[in-house]
Amino acid sequence: MATHQELSLSTIDQAVAKASAAALVWGESKAAARAALLRGLAAALEQHQAELVVLADRESGLGAARLSGEVARTAFQLRGFADAVEAGLPYQRVNDAAVVGAPPVGRPQLIRVKRALGPVAMFSASNFPFAFSVLGGDTASALAAGCPVVVKAHPGHPELSLAVYELARRVVARQKLPEGVLTIIEGASRAAAGYLVQHPQIAAVAFTGSFQGGTALWKLVNERPRPIPFYGELGSINPLVALPAALEGNSQKLAALLAGSITQGCGQFCTSPGVIVVLDHPASERFIAELAEAIRPVKTHRMLTPSMKKGFDGASDTVASYATRVFQPEVDGVGPAPRLFSVGAKDFTINADLREEMFGPAALIVKATSIEQVEDVLGAISGTLTTTLWGVNEDSESNRALVHAAEAISGRVLFAGVPTGVAVCAAQQHGGPWPSSTAAQTTSVGYAAIERFLRPVALQDAPAWVLAM
């Protein structure tokens, strides 16, 4: 009798085989076919939004308003990728005509094209049941690139994942596309997840999740006889630097804005600001008091999974053992009570435990005595999805130094507002240096995400029929 693991591995083999069978057809598909599929998936989501949101709320506890907004975002980005496909993004070519003569001036005709990598294993995230799940940005960008997708459903919302996939399966069937364009794997164990990323017919992996889980899979990918691209978003502490120049204005309004960002979604955003850097200044002390007043009474909803709550408690306890509590947190209610800690810049730069991500409603205030110390704090962070700089509006040597420091560690640098909320557009960059992601030169949000799943090929003196492919 087959064991559960054998059945799971057999299921993976079947899903990947279907994806592999569809790879050539979908990889050579025209823009009209890809755009039709993406728009069809968006329409199916919207048509069934009411029942999907109820199901998602039951599994995640994120609330109908938040989840309805997420459906809208997911449909928007599916249609946006359809537009990008029709604009020719996956089909761009560079044509260098032949030049008569000897090298280096003379050359044959060279046309640089882009080819789809092949089947992509896509690991759904827990914190965005729609936008980073079955039909989220990774799936949309891979399909737009011409790659079939094997979805690894997240155990935090299994019923929703199946419901969304069933809608998608019907769209694929109605459009008479190969079944393997989109397949799903449910409830796979860690061993099965490793088996998936090492499957010889998988050509790339897209992952959004924890640093520990992502790093383990990344290592397995690199142990393959033939390593493949692994696009992992692994976690981020997203520092926000609040200079006196910004705080001497309406610091109370800024404190309320920041408190909302730290606690939004119970702090379970990859872009949640986890480190707040201030300078030794009366405006900073006032701001800290206002931030504490704004964040302390916030009531949060339950976290996505018990393991996530356990991880948050462990990380915040670790920070608490080195830092000072700005206030005594309320007793946990339905969700964990917000926490706010404070530490000096020197301690932060020498203690790696203080740079551990607290994935939940908490933040660490780092007090610096100089701009140079702020630079040291940013340098110690190493890699992060975002850095926010409040108060660098004037051109000065110190502000330029801060911008350079922020750009060195971040995929996105903000000069106003807060980092929660990631616009889906052509200019977006969602991915930073290690350990925030495994490929800092790529983005998992925005239309440039298509590029991850394309490989350039130069065609030299190619006949016309090859160029027509």
Name the pairing type of β-strands 275-279 and 239-242: parallel
CA quadruple 281, 348, 408, 228: dihedral sign: negative
Q: Is 233 an active-site residue? A: yes
Q: Which residue in 59, 70, 147, 233 is the catalytic one? A: 233
Q: Phi, psi at residue 167, to the nearest 5°? A: -60, -45
Residue 43: alpha-carbon gap to chain centroid: 24
Output phi, psi for 302, to 5 deg. -65, 150
Burial of 155 from C-beta contacts in 10 A (0-12 / 13-18 / 19+) = middle
Distance CA 42, CA 72 (A): 9
Non-local CB neighbours of 199 within 8 Å, separated by 6+ positions: 12, 13, 16, 121
Strand locations in 153-288 (E): 182-185, 204-208, 230-233, 239-242, 275-279
d(CA 372, CA 402): 9
128 three-class SS: coil
Q: Could you tell me if 278 and 289 are in contact, meaning their C-beta atoms sit under 8 angstroms apart?
A: no
429: left (phi over 0), alpha (psi -120 to 50) or beta: beta
Cα(27)–Cα(36) distance, rounded to whole angstroms? 15
What Å distances lie between residue 263 and 165, 296, 300, 443, CA to CA? 31, 10, 7, 25
How many whole angstroms separate alpha carbon 135 and alpha carbon 43?
12
Count Cβ atoms below 10 Å from residue 329 Cβ, excluding itself.
18
Give yes or no for a contact between 275 and 243, defined as CB atoms under 8 angstroms apart: no
270 is catalytic: yes
Length of the chain: 469
Options 270, 356, 357, 375, the catalytic residue: 270
Please calculate the CA angle 306-310-311 and round it to the nearest 5 degrees: 115
Give the number of other Cβ atoms within 10 Å of residue 344's Cβ: 15
Q: Edge to edge, what strands does the sheet with 110-116 contain?
A: 94-96, 110-116, 454-460
Which two structure tokens, joined as six digits, stand for 131? 């936008």
Q: Annotated active-site positions, please?
A: 233, 270
